[in-house]
Amino acid sequence: MRKAKEFIVEKLILTCGVASIFFVALIFLFLMKEGLAVFKTVSLSDFLAGHKWYPISEPPQLGILPLILGSILVTIGAAIISIPIGVGSAIYIAEIAPAWAKEVLKAGVELLAAIPSVVLGFVGMVTLVPLVKNVFNLPTGLTALSGSIMLAFMAMPTIVSVAEDALYSVPKNYKEGAFALGATQWQTIWRVMLPASSSGILAAVMLGIGRVIGETMAVMMITGNAAVIPKTILVPVRTLTATVAAEMGEAVVGGEHYFALFAIGIVLFMISFMINVTADLFLHKRQR
């Protein structure tokens, strides 16, 4: 009787464990099945490098280059803003802040992570968008820059908490060794703590970027959604994610447009997958 119970529990847990892999595989297969169908009508190079995204014209033009560039532009902008602030704040929390400030800041960062992206989106829409419009004297404030700034807020909690963790895990004697040689606090941080935790900090950055590139709601609300190749960061852009979210509802099931959106899904999947693998490599390097 006890044996049978053991057996059942064991198999049940095994099923739970395998389930997540199974679902990923299913999603991936489904994505492939629906997405790859688009290549019956458009070649891979035309799809990835085509300049025009007019999915409902006749014949449809399915070039996603503007969307890829839109995503990359917004992501790079967000990275430029969030990496220095995020890493800086992690250094402050881990190394410099007095105990009470540490608690306040960590709570603040967690709270930032808890804000739903749609809320960030509409706050950005009513505050940031008009600001960008006025500061740069633009016809519209719905630009890649606005999206970058808003997404930087979303990447920051991830970057701060993972980077802070990396700094904490640097052996204490490294720090003491540096101080004992007469290093100042900044020299210790810059020449000992950061190099020693570099792989963890890189992983933090990659995870933050992964979050940005997959984000949909906020970018859809404040980047303007114009599927044109952006020449500066001060023009409206449309990202891969926003395209899928905005157009999936109106695409005819089984049509070319529908398949193309799934193919965009594959591209996104590949990008996040690569980012996650890179982050993972850095994290494992750190553990070794």
From start to end of 119-257, where are the E strands?
none
Stretch that binds another protein, among 4-12, 177-185, 216-224, 242-250 (CB under 8 A): 177-185
Binding of another protein at residue 183 (CB under 8 A)?
Answer: yes
In angstroms and rounded to an integer, the radius of gyration of the C-alpha atoms of the chain is 23
> 62 forms bridges with which residues in the sheet?
53
Please answer whether residues 23 and 220 qualify as being in contact, where contact means their C-beta atoms are separated by less than 8 angstroms.
no
Please answer whether residues 162 and 136 qualify as being in contact, where contact means their C-beta atoms are separated by less than 8 angstroms.
no
- Which of 1, 179, 151, 137 shows the shortest CA–CA distance to 80? 151
Binding of another protein at residue 99 (CB under 8 A)?
Answer: yes
List the one residue from 181, 270, 274, 277 that touches another protein (CB under 8 A): 181
* Residue 285: CB minimum distance to another protein, A: 12
* Residue 10: CB minimum distance to another protein, A: 43
* Residue 207: CB minimum distance to another protein, A: 24
Binding of another protein at residue 26 (CB under 8 A)?
Answer: no
Binding of another protein at residue 103 (CB under 8 A)?
Answer: no
| Tokens standing for residue 30 | 């489904």
Looking only at the bridges linking them, the beta strands covering 61-62 and 53-54 are: antiparallel
DSSP-derived secondary structure letter, 193? I
- Alpha-carbon distance 107 to 97, whole Å? 14
* Residue 183: CB minimum distance to another protein, A: 5
List the one residue from 6, 10, 103, 176 that touches another protein (CB under 8 A): 176
Stretch that binds another protein, among 41-49, 129-137, 183-191, 277-285 (CB under 8 A): 183-191
* Residue 180: CB minimum distance to another protein, A: 4
Measuring CA to CA, how many Å separate 104 from each of 66, 110, 111, 180? Answer: 42, 10, 11, 31
Binding of another protein at residue 287 (CB under 8 A)?
Answer: no
- Residues in 187-226 at the binding interface with another protein, rule: CB under 8 A: 187, 191-192
List the one residue from 180, 231, 249, 253 that touches another protein (CB under 8 A): 180
Of residues 175 and 238, the one with the C-beta less far from another protein: 175
Please answer whether residues 238 and 227 qualify as being in contact, where contact means their C-beta atoms are separated by less than 8 angstroms.
yes
* Residue 184: CB minimum distance to another protein, A: 5
Q: How far is CA 126 from the centre of its chain?
A: 23
Of residues 191 and 284, the one with the C-beta less far from another protein: 191
Measuring CA to CA, how many Å separate 239 from each of 132, 207, 214, 242? Answer: 19, 19, 10, 5
* Residue 173: CB minimum distance to another protein, A: 6
Q: Crossing angle, helix 2-36 and helix 256-287, to 10 degrees?
A: 130
Binding of another protein at residue 105 (CB under 8 A)?
Answer: no
Binding of another protein at residue 182 (CB under 8 A)?
Answer: yes
Binding of another protein at residue 88 (CB under 8 A)?
Answer: no
Binding of another protein at residue 21 (CB under 8 A)?
Answer: no
| Tokens standing for residue 46 | 């035309």
- Alpha-carbon distance 36 to 264, whole Å? 10
Binding of another protein at residue 173 (CB under 8 A)?
Answer: yes
Rule CB under 8 A: which residues touch another protein?
A: 98-99, 173-184, 187, 191-192
